[in-house]
Structure 1
Amino acid sequence: MAESFKFELVSPERLLVSQDVEAVIIPGTEGEMTVMANHAPLMTTIKPGVVTVKPASGAEERYVVFGGFADVTPEACTLLAESAVAVKDIDRDDLARRIQDAREDVADAKNDEARTKAEQFLSQLATLEDAV
């Protein structure tokens, strides 16, 4: 059995998770990463995606996040999400609305940099839609 550590997933609306876990898989902007006990300290940004939580006791849980930051220490991991919801509670209409908004952002982009950023976000949302 793997060593456990404290994990918290916080959104502006509420604290979604606060428990001891064996591992957390986070969609970092530089790539997906698995955090376990005694991980080297780091702070990273996260992209829209699915966070997988493997509790010390109980079944695996998944949460959809829309950006934010992860703060990792050897004893804990805190994920501050711009928006987060349990996959089982996902509102597919809300996700479809976000995708439509992202498509409009691509179409309305004023320059190449803005268009590239909007296209990346749209791609992340489409990948997320496939994941849930």
Structure 2
Amino acid sequence: MAEMTVELVAVERRLWSGQASFVLARTTEGDLGIMPGHEATLAQLEEAGVVRIDPVDGAPLTIAVHGGFLAIGPETVSILAEFAELADEIDVRRAQSALDRAKGDEPAEAAARKRAEARLRAADAATAG
């Protein structure tokens, strides 16, 4: 099986690093599926999205990612996020509460709503898989 080195780093910490066979990330241009040998690419991550990493060993990882960039080389993928949370670290009740509070159309409330929705999607994908 072909492998690539993947590293997911947020401003405050490194969340994951290792060998993977596939990465799925949402960029501002749409979803991007990445396999070893992918063309070199630099993309901006969606403001609030979900990234999936399929490690060579182990179950797929789902991560809620808020802002940042994705740098792809033929054998490497670097995900540099402003903030990121592994799905199993997400407090679903807290995320749901944040979503419930973010009802307005003000830019700050819309951003908070998108972040809460991304956290809930990541937590849901991790429990469904």
Q: What is the TM-score of this pair, normalised by structure 2?
A: 0.78
Q: Which has the larger radius of gyration?
A: 1
Residue 128 (structure 1) shift: 4.9
Q: Secondary structure at the match of 2:12?
A: coil
Instruction: Give the match for residue 126 of structure 2.
Output: none
Assess, with a 3 A threshold, how the Cα gap between structure 1 residues 42 and 118 changes in structure 2: closer, same or farther: farther
Instruction: Give the match for residue 18 of structure 1.
Output: 17
1:53 equivalent to 2:75? Answer no
Task: Look up the equivalent residue of 2:53 and give its one-letter code.
Answer: V
1:38 equivalent to 2:37? Answer yes
24-33 vs 6-15, greater mean Cα deviation: 24-33
Instruction: Give the match for residue 86 of structure 2.
Output: 86
Q: Secondary structure at the match of 1:129?
A: helix
Structure in which a larger fraction of residues adopt strand: 2
Q: Secondary structure at the match of 1:99?
A: helix
Unaligned runs of 5+ in 2: 124-129
1:129 equivalent to 2:120? Answer yes
Q: Which string of whole-angstrom CA distances, capped at 9 and with x for unpartnered residues, describes residues 70-109 of structure 1?
A: 01111101001111111011022442465356534x2xx4
Assess, with a 3 A threshold, how the Cα gap between structure 1 residues 75 and 129 changes in structure 2: closer, same or farther: same
Task: Look up the equivalent residue of 1:63 and give its one-letter code.
Answer: I
Residue 124 (structure 1) shift: 6.7
Aligned Cα RMSD in Å? 2.5
Q: Secondary structure at the match of 1:83?
A: strand
How many matched pairs? 122
Q: Secondary structure at the match of 2:39?
A: coil
Q: What is the TM-score of this pair, normalised by structure 1?
A: 0.77
